[in-house]
Every structure is written in C-alpha cells, then in structure tokens.
Chains A and B, each alone.
Chain A
C-alpha cells in the first residue's frame, strides 16, 4: 500500500510537527568501534529475515516464474497466454467489481464521515458509527457472504419483503446476488466502514479556523470546499481508494462463499488453478499472480506519482 497511507489519518494534526524520535540527529551514545555496526543491524535482523523469507522471496519467486517456461528459460509466453478470453474476462470483472466497490465505498464512506464529523449530529452517533465501522470493516469473508445471502438471496429477508410488501421482485428485474452488482453490493459492506475508519481522522484534522478564516476572507462554503477542503483531503482520500481497490481485488473468501465458482473473478480463477491446475500450465498460474500484483502495484505507483507531483505541501 502507499507508504505513508496510514499517516494520512493523522496527517492534518501532524503538519508542521517533526517527530523528535525520528529527527534523530542527536543519536544516543553508542559503544564505539567495531561493535557498532553488528549491534545496530541485529535489532532488525528477525524482521529482515522474516519479511525476506515469507513475503518478498515468495512473491519474487512467482514473478520470476511468470517469465520462465517449464525448462526455466526466459519467456513472455505465460504473459501472452493471459490474453485468452476466459482470463481476460476474469481480470475485467475483477477490476470492475474492485473499482465499483472501492468508488462507491469511498464516496459513501466519505459522506458518512462528513455527516458524523461535521454534520452537527449528536456526539453518540459519531462514536457509535466509529465503533461499528471498526467491526464492519473487519467483518469480511465467508460470514459476510452468508449475511448477504440471507438478505438478498432468493429467500432473503429483503428480497421477500420487497416482493410481498411492495410487489417488487428484484430477481424479475434481473438482480442476482451471484452477479457483478450482487458482489459489489456485498463488498461495499466492508469498503464503506474501512473508508470511514481511515478518513474520519483526516476530516477531524480540518481545523475549524480554516473555514472561519476563509469566511472572513469572503469565501462561500462552496469556495472554501473547492480551494481548501478538497485539496487537503484529496491525498488521504485517493490513498484510501487505492487501498479499498487492492482490498477488493485480492479478496476471495466472500466471493467464493457467495457465488461458488459461478462468478469468474481472478482470485477465484487463481484459487482453482492452485488447487487443481485447471489451466494445465503451472507457469500460467504464476502469470496470473503476477498480473494481480501488477495491477495493485500499478495503482500504488500511480498514487505515489500523483502524490509527489501535486502535494508538495505534505513534505
């Protein structure tokens, strides 16, 4: 994820404050001589070994594998094979679901965050919403799928009530919980609260005085939002959208429990490939994994590029 994304949450409050613990030009007295380097590095050796062995190397292994054939020679054939229609379709629907759920989640989450922070609602609503968001953002996976089946499945409460009370049979209108919109609607259940949890501190960081200063300078509420609020929140917002996108793009449990393998998204395709080599080509599996990292990585690179380009005021 974007480095510093988590900082965005407390970004406003930290502006202009340099962290004394990391400013670090007054290094503590160290034992002189040859002992110095080893002790320094020993402290993070477990972390370095762990992250190399269980995070970086396994990923690198797959990436390399994506560019090799069975004989271990360099090839682009695996990547080329990604272009077969079923795989392209899988990527496409994954991107669509991730994009739709992250954008809907982001805007709805932002709206809720603004409502509870700036909307003049009673204080308990704010704390209740934040607590609930903490829970709901972690309520993903298989149980979430069950909940939505019980709600919007063919026998779900919402489906039945809409049909009996309002006479609207959503399935007759083409809705299906096992479809793009069904999955998107389900993902939004953890996307919105995640947005709320991350963006509320950023909105809290908007100082009341900024709005008042803008007002005394003649700005309308709309001008203040356009010239100050949106530019200030934008980096946190965009960073969170990227996080939501990656969050949805890699998710499998919810979709698998919801749709089995009837909705062909990339993680489910990869899952099937790992379990049973359904593509009959081990290295094509590597290529699919590489493609997933490539897409989430690309999103992040875009974010970093954007941020360094346009947000010089962030330090």
Chain B
C-alpha cells in the first residue's frame, strides 16, 4: 500500500502464560476508518491499547507515519482516545475538558479558546450554551460527544475509539455513530474503532478486522466481510446465517444432498469428496420464497413461523431437520404467508458459502 500511515507489525502480547494477541499485522492508510470487531476477550481492545501505549507489546512493533512508536509513552504519542465510559474529568466544565489537551500543549489562551469553540461547534454543543456545564449535567450522548471533541482538539495523528457507543441507548447510538463517521470524514483523521457490535462495524467502517482468539481472522471491506467471509467464525459472527447440513453425492458434478433433496453446487465444493458431510451457509436475504430469476437451486419445506417486522417479514422454513430464516419485503396488497403452508425456497448456488 502506498499511503500506509499506521503499521502494526507482528505484534504479540502475553500476560504471563496467556497470549492475548498473537502475531497481529495490519496496515492502515491515512484517513482510513478501520474497525476491530470481535467477541469480548478476542484481543481487540488490547491491540488498541498497545497503539495508545497503555500496554507494551511483548513482541513486534507499531509504526506511525514511518516512525517507530512502540516504546513511546502514551503522552508522547499524540493520539486521541475515546472510552466506553466517557471518562470526562468531572471537576472540569465542558469547555475545560475540551481545552485540556491544548492547555497541556501550552497553546496560547486565545488560540485555545478559539479551538474549543470550533470543536464544540463541530459536535453541535455550542460553547455559549454548553461551555460552562459540568459533565454530570449532560446526557450520556452529550458526554460522549464532548469526549470526542476533547480527543480531537489537540489535532491528534490517530483517533482511537474504544467501544464508544456501548454505554448509550439504541437511538443515540445510531445517531452518534453517524456523527462520528461524518466528523472523521471531515477531518480526514485515521481512526481505529473497537466494537463487538457487527452492525456498528459494518455501517461505519472503510475496513473491518474481525478478531478471534488474539488473531485477525479476516481483514476486508464490510462488503467482503459480510459476503465473502473467509472463515467459519467470521461467517457466524457477522450477520445472521442459515446453516444446512449436506452430503456430497457426486463431487464431480457438484451434486449435494440435503434432506433427501438434491441441489447442484458446481464449482463451490473445492476439493470435497463424494460422501463427505459439509455445511452450507446462506444469508437470509439470499433466499426467496418461490423461484426467482437467477436462482438455480431450490428446496421444499414447510413454513414454521412468520415474524412481522414492519418493512420486512422474517419467515422461518423447516427443511428436513433444519430451519432456514429468510426475509421478504412487506407487500401491503398481499398478506404474509401462513405457518404450516408448504413452500419452496430458492437461492443462487453462487451465494452458498461452503464451510468445511
């Protein structure tokens, strides 16, 4: 990559005998927004904390703009960080919190005041109205925005966001998510965003690193991660997935038997032998009720239940012993299907992910 800004190279972190991060490599471009996605304990926060300087890597190095910062102290790294629990200084007003880094940097009072006003404008908490408030006088969402402004005020090279939305309620979470992304684009700041929420990661990121067991399972754009998961873990962790057990009946022609029905998956079996049991994974939105142009595989089953979710109707169909979830759009002029009806589902063989 031509414009690598942050490079995490062969980083390993052990606490005693426990290895939390193992041989982690990632290059991030200038201005890129990268999410670390994974379940708790996967090492995502540890990597972030090593970038911030709160943990020393056991091995490997971290390079920012061509300079090795692995051994620098946190206060020499010029990174901005936002925490899950806001971590605003309770004894300082909003304006003082935002101006904290500027004061430390020794910026002239007038310049600092101007910068604080600018930052508060950016997060839509105008100085005149909010500048003199104390953190306890703000809602969670407002506190987190102030924390963001505080982190950005000294113009850091990197912005690190450690689950910044997890403590907020659903509505605020979505709106602040959009706001963070907008501000990040506007400032063009290289950003790492740690989250366990796949929807968050998919909606906000340029690229996602899905982490599991201290390793990056897959790094890619949200589209790639969702549609071309590289491993079983990624496929399962990101999005809803239907998994059908099948038996390869003829490896040469790509025939697979699922519950006494046969479908053709030519070119998808890469190397499976006849008689082998494999898992077929399908996203709900890849399946339709009834045939559709381009869908070259179909299975019959019985509708098990129907959930009306507003614009979308989620239907679960029993195929043999398995249940398959699929989404259809709500159509005001035709009633949704009924549980107990026999039905056929179809999908494109190309959309099937074969998991070994």
Interface residue B130 (Cβ < 8 Å from any Cβ of A): no
| 0/1 string, A202-228, CB within 8 A of B gives 1 | 000001011011111111100100011
Min Cβ gap B223→A in Å is: 32
Known: A207-B85, A313-B90, A315-B136. A215 touches B73 (CB 8 A): yes
Q: How far is the CA of A220 from the CA of B106 in the complex (A)?
A: 13
Interface residue A4 (Cβ < 8 Å from any Cβ of B): no
Interface residue A15 (Cβ < 8 Å from any Cβ of B): yes
A216 touches B134 (CB 8 A): no
Q: Which B residue's beta carbon lies closest to that of A213?
A: B87
Interface residue A36 (Cβ < 8 Å from any Cβ of B): no
Which 10 A/B pairs are nearest by Cβ-Cβ distance? A209-B87, A217-B101, A215-B74, A313-B134, A216-B81, A16-B136, A231-B91, A218-B104, A209-B83, A213-B87
| 19 A-B pairs in the complex with CB atoms less than 8 angstroms apart | A15-B90, A16-B90, A207-B85, A212-B81, A213-B151, A216-B156, A217-B75, A217-B80, A217-B100, A218-B76, A218-B101, A219-B75, A223-B104, A227-B89, A227-B100, A228-B91, A228-B92, A313-B91, A313-B134
Interface residue B181 (Cβ < 8 Å from any Cβ of A): no
Interface residue A232 (Cβ < 8 Å from any Cβ of B): yes
Q: How far is the CA of A231 from the CA of B89 in the complex (A)?
A: 10
A213 touches B75 (CB 8 A): no
Q: How far is the CA of A209 from the CA of B105 in the complex (A)?
A: 20
Interface residue B150 (Cβ < 8 Å from any Cβ of A): yes
Residues on A with C-beta less than 8 A from B151 are: 213, 216-217
CB-CB contacts below 8 Å: A206-262 with B:
207, 209-210, 212-220, 223, 227-228, 231-232
Known: A216-B79, A219-B100. A209 touches B85 (CB 8 A): yes
Min Cβ gap A269→B in Å is: 43
| 0/1 string, B104-142, CB within 8 A of A gives 1 | 110000000000000000000000000000111000000
Residues on B with C-beta less than 8 A from A220 are: 75
Q: Which B residue's beta carbon lies closest to that of A219?
A: B104
Interface residue B52 (Cβ < 8 Å from any Cβ of A): yes
Q: How far is the CA of A207 from the CA of B135 in the complex (A)?
A: 14
CB-CB contacts below 8 Å: B159-188 with A:
160
Interface residue B154 (Cβ < 8 Å from any Cβ of A): yes
Q: Which B residue's beta carbon lies closest to that of A230?
A: B91
B residues near A (Cβ < 8 Å) are 52-54, 73-81, 83, 85, 87, 89-93, 100-101, 103-105, 134-136, 147, 150-151, 154, 156, 160
Known: A212-B74, A220-B75. A12 touches B87 (CB 8 A): no
Interface residue A312 (Cβ < 8 Å from any Cβ of B): yes
Q: Which A residue's beta carbon lies closest to that of B101?
A: A217
Of the residues A12, A216, A227, contact of B90 by C-beta under 8 Å: A12
Add 10 more A-B contacts to A209-B83, A216-B74, A218-B101 (CB < 8 A).
A16-B135, A209-B87, A212-B83, A213-B83, A216-B77, A216-B80, A217-B151, A227-B100, A228-B89, A232-B91
B150 touches A312 (CB 8 A): no
Min Cβ gap A5→B in Å is: 18
| 0/1 string, A255-293, CB within 8 A of B gives 1 | 000000000000000000000000000000000000000
Q: How far is the CA of A113 from the CA of B276 in the complex (A)?
A: 65
Q: Which A residue's beta carbon lies closest to that of B132?
A: A312
B136 touches A15 (CB 8 A): yes
A216 touches B75 (CB 8 A): yes
Min Cβ gap B56→A in Å is: 14
Of the residues B54, B100, B135, B154, contact of A212 by C-beta under 8 Å: B54
Residues on A with C-beta less than 8 A from B150 are: 213, 217
Min Cβ gap A230→B in Å is: 9
Q: Most chain-B Cβ atoms within 10 A of its Cβ — which of A210, A212, A216?
A: A216
Q: How far is the CA of A212 from the CA of B53 in the complex (A)?
A: 10
Q: Which B residue's beta carbon lies closest to that of A215?
A: B74
Residue count of chain A within 8 Å CB distance of chain B: 24
A210 touches B89 (CB 8 A): yes
Residues on A with C-beta less than 8 A from B52 are: 212, 216
Min Cβ gap B84→A in Å is: 8
Q: Most chain-A Cβ atoms within 10 A of its Cβ — which of B91, B101, B156?
A: B91
Residues on B with C-beta less than 8 A from A15 are: 90, 135-136
Residues on A with C-beta less than 8 A from B135 are: 15-16, 313
Residues on B with C-beta less than 8 A from A207 are: 85, 87
Q: How far is the CA of A16 from the CA of B137 in the complex (A)?
A: 7
Q: How far is the CA of A157 from the CA of B154 in the complex (A)?
A: 60
Min Cβ gap B184→A in Å is: 17
Min Cβ gap A2→B in Å is: 18
Q: Which A residue's beta carbon lies closest to that of B96?
A: A227
Min Cβ gap B81→A in Å is: 4
Residues on B with C-beta less than 8 A from A311 are: 91
Known: A216-B75, A218-B78, A220-B75. A312 touches B134 (CB 8 A): yes
Q: How far is the CA of A12 from the CA of B73 in the complex (A)?
A: 27
Residues on B with C-beta less than 8 A from A228 are: 89, 91-92
Q: How far is the CA of A257 from the CA of B223 in the complex (A)?
A: 81
Residues on A with C-beta less than 8 A from B147 are: 213
A217 touches B154 (CB 8 A): yes
Q: Which A residue's beta carbon lies closest to that of B153?
A: A217
Residues on B with C-beta less than 8 A from A219 are: 75, 100-101, 104
Q: How far is the CA of A131 from the CA of B101 in the complex (A)?
A: 40
Q: Which A residue's beta carbon lies closest to that of B135?
A: A16
B87 touches A218 (CB 8 A): no
Q: How far is the CA of A160 from the CA of B100 in the complex (A)?
A: 56
Min Cβ gap A253→B in Å is: 39
Known: A15-B136, A16-B136, A313-B134. A218 touches B75 (CB 8 A): yes
B75 touches A210 (CB 8 A): no
Min Cβ gap B106→A in Å is: 10
Q: Most chain-A Cβ atoms within 10 A of its Cβ — which of B135, B136, B150?
A: B136
